[in-house]
Structure formats: structure tokens, C-alpha cells
Amino acid sequence: MDISPEDLLRFAIGYVVLLFSLVIHENAHAVSAEHYGDPTARDAGRITLNPLPHMDPIGTVLIPLLMFLSPYRIPLIGWARPVPVNPSYFRKPLVHDSHVAAAGPISNFILAVLGTVLYIIVLLVYKHVPALQDGGGNSFLFFQLFFTALIQINCVLGIFNMLPIPPLDGHWVLFRFLPSRWAAMLAAIRPYGFFILLALMWTGILGLIIAFPMRVIAGALFSFVEFAWSAL
């Protein structure tokens, strides 16, 4: 496949955004667990913005690279090493475990909204400062690619991680609300969850599942950017 310089720039920016977003995601889990009394993640050195302790060879390196080489133009996706959590420290293990699980995807949606606000600010600065319009073409392209990646990737990560499939965060959130019989059935498929995810990714079903909420959430954020650009 032909890879243009813009494709390489898009991937480089997207990968930095992905790595940063995964680090924030895992820190959200770790900080939330510590808030409820579990020091395991801090003791393991996982409350840190250093990406190295969070990186997973497959989810943080191989999968994004394969997605870049794919002929389909889709936002990068991946995962980091799961933060260790010991629910025995929690006063209400089932409830607090679901809160810890939800903290990761929530952090991604917050990053997407924050990216939208910053994108609007940058666009308005370029729009109303003539000097930047005359000589800031390359930097303007960089900011466009950066904030587009920040919004898209975090929307994808938030939606992906809230799917009720083990080992994703969404299955821990769902686990809290299921009757005991259904909860036992969900727990029984945990050893096979990774293979289920691979099958969904390989067949394209995962993309179809994510596509609709992605269009709704990311579409709304980009529509807000366009509205602010035209109205302000």
C-alpha cells in the first residue's frame, strides 16, 4: 500500500494521542481504586503518566500498527496493561468495583469533550488573528489532525471499553446489575472474552457495533465545533 507523508503524520499524531489516552484511562482506574481504599495500583507503580508501565506489547504496539497498515480509514484503537485491582479492600466490593471499571471509559469521554473545547478555542484564535492565517498553515494542519484524533480516538475508546464483553470495563459495570444467575453466566465466559473480541474484530462486527454510537457522540462533538466556527 502507498503511504503518503500526511498518512505518516496522521499516524504519528494519532498514536501519541492513543498512548496518552490509554495512560489517562488506566490512571483513572488506579485513582478510583485508591479512592475506595485499594492501594494495589499505587504499590505497583501504575499511578503515573509515564507510558512505559502501562504499555502492552499487543494492545499498545501491534494492534495500532496493524490498524495503520489496514486499507480502512478508521480511528486507532488499542489497550494498555490492566491496572491491578483488589476488590477485597472495597467496603462495597460489587458497587465500588463497577465504579472503578466505569472510571476508565468516563475519562475518555471527558478527554473527548475537553478536546472539543480546545479545538474550538484554537480554531477561533486562527480565525480572528490574521497573522496566523497568513503564516500558520502547517501548524493549523497539525492542530486539526491532533484535535480530530483526540476526539475520535477517545470516543472510540470510551464506547469500546463500555461494551459488556469480558475483559472490557463494560462487563464489570453490567455485572453489578445482573441477577445472580445471569451474573454467573457472564463470569463463566471471562476466560473466552479475549477470543470473542478477536472474532468480532476479525469479522468486522465490532466495527458495526461501535459505528452507530460513534456517529452519534463524535458527530455531535464535531457538529458543535462547526457551529462554533460559523457562529463566533
CA neighbor of 168 nearest in space, from 182, 158, 177: 158
Reported confidence tier of residue 142, pLDDT bands at 50, 70, 90: confident
CA neighbor of 120 nearest in space, from 149, 152, 137, 143: 143
Span 71-114, pLDDT tens digits: 666 667 888 999 999 999 999 998 999 999 999 999 999 999 99
Q: Is the pLDDT of residue 2 over 80?
A: no
pLDDT score recorded for residue 73: 63
Q: Is the pLDDT of residue 3 over 70?
A: yes
Q: Is the pLDDT of residue 1 over 70?
A: no
pLDDT score recorded for residue 147: 95
26 catalytic residue (yes or no)? yes
Q: Is the pLDDT of residue 43 over 70?
A: yes
Asked whether the beta carbons of 51 and 108 are under 8 A apart, the reply is no
pLDDT score recorded for residue 72: 62
pLDDT score recorded for residue 207: 81
Q: Is the pLDDT of residue 217 over 90?
A: yes
Is the pTM here over 0.95, yes or no?
A: no
Asked whether the beta carbons of 144 and 79 are under 8 A apart, the reply is no
Reported confidence tier of residue 59, pLDDT bands at 50, 70, 90: confident
The residue-averaged pLDDT of 32-61 equals 94
Three-state secondary structure along the chain? CCCCHHHHHHHHHHHHHHHHHHHHHHHHHHHHHHHCCCCHHHHCCCCCCCCHHHCCHHHHHHHHHHHHHCCCCCCCCCCCCCCCCCHHHCCCHHHHHHHHHHHHHHHHHHHHHHHHHHHHHHHHHHHHCHHHHHHCHHHHHHHHHHHHHHHHHHHHHHHHHCCCCCCCHHHHHHHHHCCHHHHHHHHHCHHHHHHHHHHHHHHCHHHHHHHHHHHHHHHHHHHHHHHHHHHC
Q: Mean pLDDT over all residues of the chain?
A: 89
pLDDT score recorded for residue 229: 87
Reported confidence tier of residue 128, pLDDT bands at 50, 70, 90: confident
Reported confidence tier of residue 189, pLDDT bands at 50, 70, 90: confident
Q: Is the pLDDT of residue 27 over 80?
A: yes
Residue count of the chain, please give it: 232
